[in-house]
Amino acid sequence: MAMATPQGTPYLVGPVPFEDVGGGGGEDHIVAVPPPEDEYADIVSAMPSTTMIGFPLLRYQGSWLLKTWVTGVLSVQRRFAPRPDDVLLASLPKCGTTWLKSLAFSTMARAAYPPSAADHPLLRLNPHQCVPFLDDLFSSGEATKAVEALPSPRLMNTHMHHSLLPPSVTAGKCKIVYVCRDPKDGLVSMWYFAKSIMPAGSTYTFSDMFEHACHGETPNGPIWDNILSYWRASRAHPDKVLFLRYEEMLLDPGHAVTNLARFLGVPFTAAEEAEGTSADIVELCSFKAMKVLPANNTGTFTMLGFPHRSLFRKGVAGDWVDHMTPEMARRFDGIVHEKLRGSGLTFAAP
């Protein structure tokens, strides 16, 4: 959104699509820093490791991280400088990340990009091209100028545990929105996501991944610890951390958008409500609308090389029933229930 200073010089007001500010990379966007393999070699070499779905995981400060993202997490902790009006979207992988990015971007940027406009950025870009993913962006050990070049308020996302975020972030310098999904559905969605890049002939099964999950060994897991970290933060600081539940968003997306806008400090005006702006955002970001867009059916997501189309499978709740036996569901629910005991957060039993 372009505005003018008192001197008449135009400047941008965020959020704007990261891709348009230089998210595609390039030498002109890079600040040279020590290579991560040199800077973090001692730390990384001391991390416990395992493998899930063919991906190496390293354990760092209680969290299992994809090896690809370990240097990103370390770099975010050391180099990311939050601004007071930053908004950080957080989630476990495959638990509503893409939808939350779409809703938050279209809600915050609606003055510059009306949701009913024919040239809206979400009609030409994948949501991940609009909202930068810090874990991946910083994984090369090179903090990009593009992040600093983003006009305020900046909108970004992460899969990191709340406890892994820099103290400057958790101290309340910016707002955080976390979306939580039933862990069983999250596992199923992760399985199909991973299958999209599995080599032909792979013998790794959903049951194999399920066993890893029961032991907490999933990307950005243990699942329960990731969820709990944001749940507790939202209870302690409800003005700074908003905890959303994916299943509730599916049931009433209009309420979710209204709640999101209010939390982010950009509530819908009476005029916008009369014009149906929130309903337009819900429609623009609906699974049905986004799944058919060329930007979401072609191209590759830079993070690990996943095809864009792998981000849109079903977008429903309860799909786990077609992939888990009752015994598997009871076992996993029992583990999650025990880990969440006393927190006030629960998931419905099968």
Domains of the chain: 12-340 (3.40.50.300)
- Backbone angles phi and psi of 30, in degrees to 5: -110, 135
Give which of 349, 84, 89, 17 is closest to 241, Cα–Cα. Answer: 89
State pLDDT tens for residues 173-208.
799 999 999 999 999 988 887 777 776 777 788 999
Give which of 318, 322, 323 is closest to 349, Cα–Cα. Answer: 318
State pLDDT tens for residues 96-128.
999 999 999 999 999 999 999 999 999 999 898
- Indicate if 308 belongs to the active site: no
User: Which one from 29, 120, 128, 159 is the annotated catalytic residue?
Assistant: 159
In this prediction the pTM is 0.90
The per-residue pLDDT for 191 is 87
CA 67-69-71 angle, 5° bins: 95
Give which of 183, 147, 149, 176 is closest to 162, Cα–Cα. Answer: 176
Structure tokens at 106: 């279209």
Check residues 1 and 347 and name the one with the higher pLDDT. Answer: 347
State pLDDT tens for residues 132-150.
999 988 876 555 677 888 9
**Residue burial 302-341, b: 16+ Cβ < 10 Å; e: rest:** ebeebebbbbbbebebebbeebbeeebbeebbebbeebbe
State the Cα–Cα distance between residues 247 and 96, nearest whole angstrom.
Answer: 10
- The 3-state DSSP class for residue 2 equals strand
